[in-house]
């Protein structure tokens, strides 16, 4: 019975590892497709013309740019970090105004489930 439990645990672990590997492969495949599509788009126009486009980011799509386009975060640039701080400040203002009112119950059942 113990051997069966060990085998099942081993199989479960292998399934998890395969799932992770599959996700990494899908991610890599998506990157390669986007890179190839971008390079095809760039090569289909003259360099002078394509440089006028707001979508032109260089000759090829590098990983850093790919991450910023498809998986953006608030830590990608100085502007996005500033926007994150603005969100924090906005939340603090909203919390300081509406927090005491919520505690007093002045909003009734509007915000509670």
Res 53: pLDDT: 87
pLDDT tens-digit map of 61-107: 999 899 888 888 888 888 989 999 999 999 999 988 888 877 776 66
Res 39: pLDDT: 92
pLDDT tens-digit map of 17-41: 877 777 778 888 999 999 999 999 9
How many domains, in total, are found in the chain?
2
Cα separation, 106 vs 25, in Å, equals 53
Domain residues for the domain of 111 are: 73-113
Measured CA to CA in angstroms, residue 22 lies from 36, 40, 43, 46, 86 at distances of 21, 27, 31, 38, 38
For every residue of 42-83, DSSP letters joined together read HHTS-HHHHTTSTT---SS--HHHHHHHHS--TTSSHHHHHH
Please check whether residues 106 and 55 belong to one and the same domain. no
Please check whether residues 20 and 68 belong to one and the same domain. yes
């Amino acid at each position: 019975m113990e051997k069966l439990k060990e085998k099942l645990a081993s199989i479960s672990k292998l399934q998890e590892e395969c799932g992770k590997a599959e996700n990494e492969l899908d991610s890599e495949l998506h990157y390669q497709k986007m890179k190839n599509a971008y390079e095809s788009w760039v090569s289909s126009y003259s360099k002078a013309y394509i440089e006028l486009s707001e979508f032109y980011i260089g000759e090829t799509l590098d990983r850093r740019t790919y991450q910023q386009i498809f998986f953006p975060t608030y830590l990608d640039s100085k502007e996005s970090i500033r926007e994150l701080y603005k969100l924090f400040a906005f939340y603090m203002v909203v919390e300081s105004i509406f927090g005491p009112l919520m505690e007093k119950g002045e909003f009734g059942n509007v915000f509670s489930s």
